């Protein structure tokens, strides 16, 4: 039986100069690597890097410690988990923010790329991550964000609980960075009794 999982606290995050510098360094390193760049221009790489790291810094504000390892694609532990929080190695993911505030959200949806990556990592590196922490945020002003948390999902069952959304609904499709329309995934939080899900994001 795992330790008890629970959601991090929502908070207002204002990125400081050191954090902004860290994001810029990460983006430059990613852009310089053909594999990690994935055909994106620098501005897109920077935007994607910032979007992901915002949630990581929000966990650091709550006692988390970022993965200190330098990225090395041959060393899974250097890139599969993002933050050590409460003794858990966390993969931190930015999920879709609900369209309407105070809407009771039944499902958590993510991009096709993110769903495929989580499933692949679980298969290839089953012991590198403990939990996946899904969050979302609204931008309040330049470098200031209202961070909310959607779900804490046990990594050991993430693969079987990721499902493709119903293709009949237009909002279940998302255009990726290559201009291709891809079906989104949803996480079935009811498939694992230890998953912690936030029904009321606002």
pLDDT in tens, 136-187: 999 999 999 999 999 999 999 999 999 999 999 988 899 887 788 999 999 9
Name the domain count of the chain: 1
pTM metric for this prediction: 0.90
In a domain, 154, yes or no: yes
Pick the more confident residue, 79 or 148.
148
In a domain, 164, yes or no: yes
Q: How far apart are CA 164 and CA 110, in angstroms?
A: 10
Using DSSP, state whether 156 is helix, strand or coil.
helix
Q: Is 179 left (phi over 0), alpha (psi -120 to 50) or beta?
A: left
Report CA torsion sign: 53, 56, 60, 62: positive
Contact in structure between 155 and 122 (CB atoms under 8 Å): yes
Pick the more confident residue, 38 or 148.
148
Q: How far apart are CA 41 and CA 55, in angstroms?
A: 23
Mean pLDDT of 17-25: 92
In a domain, 1, yes or no: no
Which pLDDT belongs to residue 47?
A: 87
What range does the domain containing 80 cover?
Answer: 11-67+76-197
Contact in structure between 158 and 33 (CB atoms under 8 Å): no
Q: Where are the beta strands (DSSP E) in the chain?
A: 11-14, 65-66, 83-85, 88-94, 108-110, 131-141, 144-154, 162-164, 173-175, 181-183, 185-187, 196-197
In a domain, 31, yes or no: yes
Mean pLDDT of 110-115: 92
In a domain, 103, yes or no: yes
Contact in structure between 134 and 97 (CB atoms under 8 Å): no
In a domain, 4, yes or no: no
Q: How far apart are CA 170 and CA 183, in angstroms?
A: 9
In a domain, 6, yes or no: no
Q: How far apart are CA 51 and CA 118, in angstroms?
A: 17
Residue the block writes with tokens 């055909």: 39
In a domain, 179, yes or no: yes
């Amino acid at each position: 039986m795992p330790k008890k999982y629970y959601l991090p606290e929502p908070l207002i995050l204002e990125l400081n100069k050191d954090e902004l510098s860290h994001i810029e360094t990460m983006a430059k390193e990613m852009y310089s690597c053909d594999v990690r760049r994935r055909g994106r221009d620098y501005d897109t790489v920077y935007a994607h890097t910032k979007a992901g790291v915002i949630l990581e810094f929000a966990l650091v504000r709550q006692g988390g410690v970022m993965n200190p390892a330098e990225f090395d694609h041959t060393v899974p532990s250097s890139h599969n988990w993002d933050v050590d929080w409460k003794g858990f190695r966390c993969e931190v993911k930015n999920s879709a923010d609900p369209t309407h505030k105070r809407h009771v959200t039944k499902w958590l949806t993510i991009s096709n790329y993110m769903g495929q990556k989580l499933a692949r990592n679980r298969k290839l590196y089953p012991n590198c991550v403990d939990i996946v922490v899904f969050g979302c945020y609204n931008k309040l002003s330049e470098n200031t964000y209202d961070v909310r948390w959607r779900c804490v999902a046990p990594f050991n069952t993430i693969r079987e609980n990721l499902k493709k959304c119903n293709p009949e609904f237009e909002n279940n499709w998302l255009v990726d960075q290559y201009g291709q329309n891809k079906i989104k995934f949803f996480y079935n939080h009811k498939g694992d009794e230890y998953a912690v899900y936030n029904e009321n994001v606002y």
